């Protein structure tokens, strides 16, 4: 019996070659792409889930009521972690971590390593297993460090005989000797803490000076709660602790007019599960866990599968009308409902199985290009877990049951005589039409998403940021030499070159450089009896000139003035915050009045932070005691490549050991919206595939519909209809569906895209043109798809379709 | 003279051999004639009708319709020609299932670009003439075969054609209905419409003024 079913199924599939082929091609590509998308999504979702204690380990963050509203921060002061552990009940471990770049020196080799400064309990709460050496307590001594396999490979060239070796690390301005105690497995790619080396926290250059300071916050704190303690209990337990240690800043907040929260508190510690860490944003003041990105990818994968399944169902229903006679015949021969159902289902299953296998093969072939294109480190391991495979198998089973079973059910229920006569009424094709409308709704949604995403990216790329991004190279100062000296040497080296216009330095980058690090530096002080918060940036001479910042009032730092280390240059937002009519008259006492700074100039606002943010208050300092981390070189617009080479050459002369990581600021800017670009690529490819698959479906359906209507077409032509009028008549029906899809999708697309654009302080205007363009594209493509078919049908000779036989 | 066929040949190639569907057909049809085409199955009756109706092409010979040489006309002009002068009646009626009787009748007029008000008048006229006013809002499936064919004839007539081509118009009808349709044809013929019908039935052929017999594509 089964063999018979299989045989018939195969023959039927071969008979309807076009449809079998379109189905298999569509299903295969959809499955392959969905496989890759699901892989990416699962990879994203698996971030930080590998920690064995992920249910009891939390990141600590502090929410503060400020005059500007609720603000939260994960940066903590040095004494917090020990104090928490000592004073607050229910805490098993409290660990400080700080990510930094560290220059490691072994013999002749100098290499920049990603370092994690932390406490010994780091290895108690996080799951980073050791390969060799001390696995129990890698940071048992202040001078012990743990290095990853990759780090060891970079520094020593091998992982053998590394334990016990001495290396020196440049911390601050001096080198310090350390012993390798442990080699760690490389941190997995789905990990928020990427490091090559773990160093005891006490060695951080900022440690000593900040040991007892609660107002200097620059690292993260993680706690492991004791069993049975909930985050809510922790929050309650830390209330007295908080009001004790943050007394001063709470008083300031009250003075400045902050409003207490519902519990009557001004500061409150909260916990954020490390499992949620990767997905958290603090944009609204409190931690918000949003897994939008992976779910969006999953959504696209699902939608693609849906489109292709809708095609499958539609074609099957349409095709089955041709097979009514066969069904009637079978019924007269004694087939029962169940057998007919089984037979039809078998055909669907066969198609799906072939497509699944092909899809897996195709997915594997596309894996590498996909990974580069979407810039993901995901591997198929994330999909080939037994649980996922089971879900996958089950969903295939369900889809075939629906796709193959629905038409099968409809037909097997049909009366024998009616089937034999070959008349079938599927409720005026309502199901078919709604599926087509749904497909195109999705396609139009994706197209408008694509257009708006690209619009926003273009908008960000072309926005006037207030500084010159085309002509300026920023170079991470990753060498051993003193940063001011390096900048000075660069100036000397490039003095003769007429294409080099200006050179300066600062302690922060603009955009995201090739070193991949970013930071924010903020400070607060009292001005005229109220608290003021500003971003701080240490710069070298000529900073404004190098970046083409516009000076609105006063002057910038200059070599002509000796006392500029006590001068400040502020941006307009900062000037507004300080609220003085003449900003140049502002004097700011700092360090409890020990020093007084005076504002000497105001620069026009420029986007010194992420472009999605509004321009915040900024204060520029010039203080040779504070290191610079980036050099900026402005070059002439002519001979750009030559100038870049000259800079690189000068660099390798000055810092022969350190890698040159200079890049133009517009490249840096592009890097900051890598996420948007990835999203755009995914949505774009999703929409292309979506529309393509929808069109395959539409094409097949139009073929069938035209087939069903040949008699009508013949009659109309005999009655004198022209080719064009028949073609329009047939095409119109499909375009109507696309138009309906457009009407449905536009408000949905508008709502979601508008929501998304709210994440950006300045964004592209959501003009109706985006949607009109999306709708027109869909219409045009649909027209092209259906048009060729209908035109062919319309020009066929009516005699053929009207023969009475 | 309405139309003239001179040495018409039509063939298909099958396995390197020429199979003739029509062989040396010579026919002249005057206005007002009522011609019955007879012959066994496969003798080429329908093919001949289709050639006359310009729905099908032929391979050799000349065809003049109202002094226009059809064989040298382009597809589009040919379509204009038959749209204007020829009405078709089919064995299985070929009414459009999703249109009502009234709309079916309207269809040829729409394609002839007749104005709306004029169209209505013509349809009403035709409904009246065929006594089917009461059925104007029914769909073909709600009519009996005879009634459907009545609509089919009405539709063929509505554009005032000079020639009606009927391919076994009574083939799907019972004898009484068939008789009615033939009576109708006779009456129309008396009113001046030229009719060419294909039929199997000797009795129906008698209604015509001339009988043409076909055998294997040849006139006998």
Helix, coil or strand: residue A424 = coil
Instruction: Name the residue in chain B with its Cα closest to that of A802.
Output: B94
pLDDT at B163 over 60: yes
* B79, B94, B108 member nearest A802 (Cβ): B94
Q: What is the ipTM of this complex?
A: 0.71
Chain B CB contacts of A711 under 8 Å are: 94
pLDDT bin (cut points 50, 70, 90) of residue B32 is very high
Instruction: Name the residue in chain B with its Cα closest to that of A711.
Output: B94
Structural tokens at position A570? 């502020």
Instruction: Name the residue in chain A with its Cα closest to that of B108.
Output: A719
Q: How many other CB atoms are found less than 10 A from the CB of residue A443?
A: 30
Q: What is the pLDDT of residue A331?
A: 67
The structural domains of chain B, ordered by start, are 34-54+86-219 (3.40.50.300)
Contact in structure between B173 and B92 (CB atoms under 8 Å): no
Task: Give A99-112 pLDDT, tens digit per residue.
Answer: 988 889 888 888 88
Q: What is the pLDDT of residue A634?
A: 93
Q: Would the CB atoms of B171 and A721 count as touching at under 8 Å? A: no
Chain B residues with at least one Cβ partner in A under 8 Å: 46, 50, 53, 55-56, 79, 82-83, 88, 90-92, 94-98, 107-108, 111-112, 155, 159, 167-168, 171
Residues 6+ apart with CB under 8 A from A751: none
Q: What is the pLDDT of residue A62?
A: 92
Q: What is the pLDDT of residue A179?
A: 93
- CA dist B13 and B24 (Å) reads 17
Q: What is the pLDDT of residue A420?
A: 58
User: Mind telling me how many Å the CA of B208 is from chain A's nearest CA?
Assistant: 23
Q: What is the pLDDT of residue A423?
A: 55
Q: What is the pLDDT of residue A115?
A: 92
- CA dist A703 and A501 (Å) reads 67
Q: What crossing angle do the helices spanning A337-374 and A674-708 adopt, rounded to 10°?
A: 150
pLDDT at B80 over 90: no
Phi and psi dihedrals of A792, rounded to 5?
A: -65, -45
- CA dist A316 and A347 (Å) reads 10
Q: What is the pLDDT of residue A414?
A: 66
Chain B CB contacts of A719 under 8 Å are: 83, 107-108, 111, 155
Nearest Cα neighbor of A139 from A180, A102, A84, A167 is A180
- CA dist B220 and B218 (Å) reads 6
Distances from the Cα of A495 to the Cαs of A304, A500, A633, B153, in angstroms?
59, 8, 12, 100
Task: Give A45-71 pLDDT, tens digit per residue.
Answer: 888 999 999 999 999 999 988 887 888
Which residue numbers in chain A have pLDDT < 70?
Answer: 1-2, 4, 322, 325-326, 328-336, 408, 411-429, 803-805
Q: What is the pLDDT of residue A11?
A: 79
Cβ under 8 Å to B: A residues 719-748? 719-722, 725
Nearest Cα neighbor of A407 from A330, A518, A285, A323 is A323
First to last CA, chain A: 35
Q: What is the pLDDT of residue A56?
A: 92
Q: Would the CB atoms of A720 and B111 count as touching at under 8 Å? A: yes
Question: What is the Cβ-side half-sphere exposure of residue A709, based on CA atoms within 13 angstroms?
Answer: 22
Q: What is the pLDDT of residue A425?
A: 55
| Residue that the structure tokens 């204690």 belong to | A53
């Amino acid at each position: 019996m089964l063999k018979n079913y299989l045989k018939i199924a195969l023959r039927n599939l071969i008979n309807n070659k076009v449809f079998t082929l379109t189905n298999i091609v569509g299903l295969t590509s959809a499955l392959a792409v969905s496989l890759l998308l699901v892989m990416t999504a699962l990879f994203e979702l698996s971030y930080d889930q590998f920690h064995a204690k992920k249910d009891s380990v939390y990141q600590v963050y502090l929410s503060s009521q400020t005059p500007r509203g609720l603000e939260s921060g994960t940066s903590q002061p040095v004494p917090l972690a020990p104090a928490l552990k000592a004073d607050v009940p229910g805490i098993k471990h409290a660990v400080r971590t700080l990510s930094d770049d560290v220059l490691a020196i072994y013999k002749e080799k100098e290499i920049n390593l990603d370092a994690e400064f932390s406490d010994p309990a780091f290895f108690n709460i996080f799951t980073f297993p050791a390969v060799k050496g001390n696995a129990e307590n890698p940071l048992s001594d202040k001078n012990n460090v743990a290095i990853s396999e990759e780090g060891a490979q970079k520094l020593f060239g091998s992982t053998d005989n590394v334990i016990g070796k001495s290396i020196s690390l440049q911390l601050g301005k001096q080198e310090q000797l350390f012993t390798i105690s442990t080699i760690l497995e490389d941190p997995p790619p789905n990990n928020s803490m990427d490091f090559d080396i773990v160093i005891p926290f006490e060695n951080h250059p900022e440690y000593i000076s900040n040991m007892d300071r609660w107002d200097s916050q620059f690292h993260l704190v993680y706690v492991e709660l004791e069993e049975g303690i909930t985050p809510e209990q922790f929050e309650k337990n830390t209330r007295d602790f908080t009001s004790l240690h943050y007394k001063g800043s709470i008083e300031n907040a009250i003075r400045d007019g902050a409003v207490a929260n519902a519990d009557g508190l001004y500061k409150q510690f909260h916990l954020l599960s490390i499992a949620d860490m990767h997905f958290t944003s603090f944009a609204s003041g409190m931690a918000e866990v949003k897994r939008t990105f992976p779910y969006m990818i999953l959504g696209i994968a699902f939608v693609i599968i849906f489109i292709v399944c809708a095609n499958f169902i539609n074609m099957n229903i349409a095709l089955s009308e041709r097979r009514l006679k066969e069904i009637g015949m079978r019924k007269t021969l004694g087939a029962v409902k169940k057998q007919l159902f089984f037979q039809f289902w078998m055909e669907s299953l066969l198609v799906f199985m072939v497509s699944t296998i092909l899809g897996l093969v195709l997915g594997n072939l596309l894996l590498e290009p996909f990974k580069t294109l979407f810039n993901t480190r995901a591997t198929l391991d994330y999909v080939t877990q037994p649980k996922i495979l089971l879900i996958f198998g089950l969903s295939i089973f369900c889809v075939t049951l629906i796709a193959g079973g629905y038409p099968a059910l409809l037909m097997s229920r049909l009366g024998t005589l009616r089937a034999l006569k070959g008349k079938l009424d599927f409720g005026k094709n309502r199901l078919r039409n709604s599926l087509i409308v749904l497909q195109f709704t999705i396609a139009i949604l994706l197209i408008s998403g694509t257009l708006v995403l690209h619009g926003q990216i273009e908008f960000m790329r072309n926005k006037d940021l207030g500084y010159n991004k085309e002509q300026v190279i920023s170079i991470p100062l990753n060498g051993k030499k003193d940063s001011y000296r390096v900048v000075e040497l660069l100036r000397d080296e490039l003095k003769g070159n007429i294409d080099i216009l200006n050179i300066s330095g600062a302690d922060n980058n603009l955009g995201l450089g090739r070193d991949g690090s970013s930071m924010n530096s903020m400070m607060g002080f009292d001005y005229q009896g109220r608290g003021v918060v500003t971003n701080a940036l240490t710069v070298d001479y000529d900073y404004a000139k190098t970046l083409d910042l516009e000076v609105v009032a006063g002057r910038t730092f200059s070599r002509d003035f000796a006392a500029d280390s006590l001068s400040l240059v502020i941006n307009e937002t900062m000037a507004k915050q300080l609220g003085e009519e003449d900003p140049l008259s502002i004097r700011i006492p700092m360090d409890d009045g020990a020093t007084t700074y005076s504002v000497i100039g105001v620069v026009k606002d420029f986007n010194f932070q992420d472009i999605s943010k509004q321009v915040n208050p900024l204060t520029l300092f010039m203080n040779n005691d504070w290191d610079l981390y980036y050099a900026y070189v402005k070059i002439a617009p002519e001979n750009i490549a030559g100038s870049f080479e000259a800079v690189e050459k000068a660099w390798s002369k000055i810092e022969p050991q350190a890698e040159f990581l200079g890049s133009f600021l517009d490249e840096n800017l592009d890097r900051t919206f890598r996420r948007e670009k990835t999203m755009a690529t995914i949505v774009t490819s999703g929409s292309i595939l979506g529309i393509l698959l929808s069109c395959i479906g539409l094409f097949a359906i139009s073929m069938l519909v035209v087939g069903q209507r040949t008699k009508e077409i013949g009659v109309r032509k005999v009655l004198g209809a022209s080719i064009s009028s028949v073609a329009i008549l047939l095409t119109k029906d499909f375009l109507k569906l696309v138009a309906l899809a457009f009407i449905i999708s536009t408000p949905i697309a508008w709502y979601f895209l508008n929501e998304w654009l709210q994440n950006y302080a300045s964004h592209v205007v959501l003009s109706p043109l985006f949607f009109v363009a999306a709708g027109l594209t869909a219409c045009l493509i649909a027209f092209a798809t259906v048009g060729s078919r209908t035109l062919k049908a319309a020009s066929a000779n009516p005699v053929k379709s009207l023969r009475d036989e | 003279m309405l139309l003239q066929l001179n040495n018409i040949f039509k063939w298909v190639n099958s396995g390197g051999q020429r199979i003739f569907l029509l062989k040396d057909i010579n026919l002249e049809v005057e206005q007002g004639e009522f011609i019955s085409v007879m012959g066994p199955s496969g003798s080429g009756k329908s093919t001949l009708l289709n050639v006359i109706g310009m729905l099908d092409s032929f391979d050799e010979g000349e065809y003049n319709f109202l002094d226009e040489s059809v064989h040298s006309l382009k597809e589009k002009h040919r379509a204009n020609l038959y749209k204007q002068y020829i009405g078709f009646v089919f064995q299985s009626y070929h009414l459009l299932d999703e249109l009502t009787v009234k709309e079916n009748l309207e269809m040829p007029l729409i394609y002839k670009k007749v104005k709306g008000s004029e169209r209505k008048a013509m349809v009403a006229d035709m409904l009246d003439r065929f006594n089917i006013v009461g059925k104007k809002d029914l769909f073909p499936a709600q009519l009996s075969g005879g009634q459907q064919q009545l609509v089919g004839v009405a539709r063929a007539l509505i554009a005032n054609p000079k020639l009606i081509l009927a391919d076994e118009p009574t083939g799907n009808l019972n004898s009484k209905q068939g008789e009615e349709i033939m009576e109708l044809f006779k009456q129309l013929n008396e009113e001046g419409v030229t009719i060419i019908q294909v039929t199997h039935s000797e009795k129906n052929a008698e209604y015509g003024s001339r009988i043409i017999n076909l055998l294997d594509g040849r006139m006998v």
